[in-house]
Chains A and B, each alone.
Chain A
Amino acid sequence: MEEKNNEFSIRDLIGMILPKLWIVAIVSVLVSVAVGIYSSFFVKDTYSTTVQFYVHFGSSEANTIEIDKARQLVPVYISAYKSKSFGDDLLVEVNKSSYVKDNPSYKNLTASSLLSMLSFAQDDKVPIMYITVTSTDNNLALTVADALTSLSYDFKIGEDDSSVDETQPEKELSIHTLVPHKAEFQIYQRASLPEIPNEKNVEKSVVVSFFAAAVVTLACIVVYALLDVTIRDRRKLESGVDVPVLGVIPKHINAKNEEGKN
């Protein structure tokens, strides 16, 4: 008995996708329009403010080696800022502010919600760290940024080797053990109250959603076609049964009708 040909060729794939391209186009356009409308009219404006910190080793004449070392410390600071313990400290600091105290809607602020407002960046050449605070409330963004600034005064990183008491039992891994040299951490630029909301980037959302919808729709079409057992053409019939296909009869159209159409 002849073995059934169950292989799936690119020709089959194109054959099943091409007739359904209109579905892909319609779904993609609808999704992107929906995303565009949602982004434009339903997504709240967000405000961002950035505080900048400068890392150095305290020497008055910093050379390129020290700058490079300091720059390498920035990721360590970023890790420290992302830690839960810092989030707890930040929450305490933010809760001290009058704006949060006076605003009852912020009574349920959590450390993780505050940390989710932060985004970090590093300069490529100089040891400057950027912490951007984003919120739908510009005053809250500034409050959090100010809290970051306040905490940075207590943010002592690195200690003299002499201060480490090796006789003490091993402590929890902290930023002190991560930084080998004594480094200083200075505020380079304070945050200011953001008055203009961030650009919504609707175009980007629309384009991304269009292509995402197209890919998902195509995938659905392919999966549906693979699972479909309806006989569409001779190839499908030949691959599905182990007997010869004796003939393929096209749809019946009388010659008169055919000429009439032409």
Chain B
Amino acid sequence: MAKRISVFNRKKINDDKILLDCLLNDESSFAVREAYLKLCTNIMYIPSEKKCKTIVVTSAIPGEGKDLLSANLALTLANYAGNNKVLLIDSDLRCSEISATLSDNEIYRGLSEYLAGDDEEVYVSKNSKYGSLEVVLSGAHSSNPAALLSSKRLPEAIRRFEEAYDYIIINVPPIEAVTDALLYSPIVDGYIISTKANYSNINRVSDAIDSIRDVNGKVLGVVLTSAKSNRSNCESCSYGNYKK
């Protein structure tokens, strides 16, 4: 049975308004959309033997923009970079901004219900506001997320999703904070690490990369967010007829 999650009510007042404002849409600046398209292009050209690419988006420490990065990456892959079937899984069972932002109402079910055995299938939600993007919300269970993510049901679900989607983007908690992100290493193609300009620490990012490698995970690359717009960005804003 779906439950009301009071923790999200508190967060909605503060944070997810910001996340919602920054989600990619037609009103987003040209420079930002182009930046996400470039990122998608780079991801598309990462060689993979499988039809579907399963990518975990994480960060070294909290506050480095991984929620926004994973949401916008999924939105771009789904709506702006071709007709890809994209699934965004919010696997941050502890402090999810994505679920709080993308859910239509505060009563919802998601990954944790499936992992806990409450649901037979993972509930996938789809909101027309976000085009063809499909989302698996984090769910209501918040006790012992690491144990839930260690469940055998998780690889089974991912395997089933890989047959149905072109890209699966999984948002997980920061690596230094909790171990959740590392539990995905055997079942995903790789990790993307979000870093934030003028905030992230290069040593911590290196440590996060090492942590992933220690569990035989593959780091596809890093993404720098909140970067200062340089001159070339401004020029590209008004390049020819491609502004809008």
Contacts and interface: CB of A to CB of B under 8 A. Distances in A.
Interface stretch (A97-105, A131-139, A185-193, A234-242): A234-242
B186 interface: no
Contact of B32 (A230, A233, A253): A253
A43 interface: no
Nearest to A254: B27
Chain A binding surface SS class? mixed
Nearest to A247: B39
Given A234-B227, A237-B222, A240-B205, A252 B22 contact: yes
A232 B198 contact: yes
Contacts of B220: 243-244, 246
A229 B199 contact: no
B224 A255 contact: no
Contacts of B193: 243
Interface in A200-236: 229-234, 236
Given A230-B200, A231-B202, A252-B22, A246 B228 contact: no
A248 B29 contact: no
Contact of B202 (A237, A244, A252, A255): A237
B202 A246 contact: no
Q: Which of B30, B193, B228, B244 has the most CB of A within 10 A?
A: B228
Given A231-B200, A254-B21, A256-B27, A237 B32 contact: no
Interface string A133-160: 0000000000000000000000000000
Contacts of A231: 195-202, 205, 224
A252 B28 CA distance: 8
Given A246-B42, A254-B28, A256-B27, A233 B192 contact: no
B202 A249 contact: no
B43 interface: yes
A254 B29 CA distance: 5
Contacts of A236: 202
A222 B28 CA distance: 37
Contacts of A229: 201-203
B28 A245 contact: no
A244 B193 CA distance: 11
Interface string B156-171: 0000000000000000
Contacts of B203: 229
Contacts of A256: 27
Contact of B222 (A232, A246, A254): A246
23 contacts: A230-B198, A231-B196, A231-B198, A231-B201, A231-B224, A233-B227, A236-B202, A243-B209, A243-B222, A244-B222, A246-B42, A246-B222, A247-B42, A247-B224, A249-B36, A249-B65, A249-B69, A249-B223, A251-B226, A252-B68, A253-B32, A254-B27, A255-B244
Given A243-B219, A247-B42, A252-B32, 11 more contacts: A231-B195, A231-B200, A231-B224, A233-B227, A240-B202, A246-B192, A249-B32, A252-B21, A252-B28, A255-B28, A258-B237
Interface of A: 229-234, 236-237, 240-256, 258
Which 6 pairs show the lowest CB-CB distances between chains A and B?
A247-B39, A240-B202, A246-B221, A252-B22, A244-B221, A231-B200
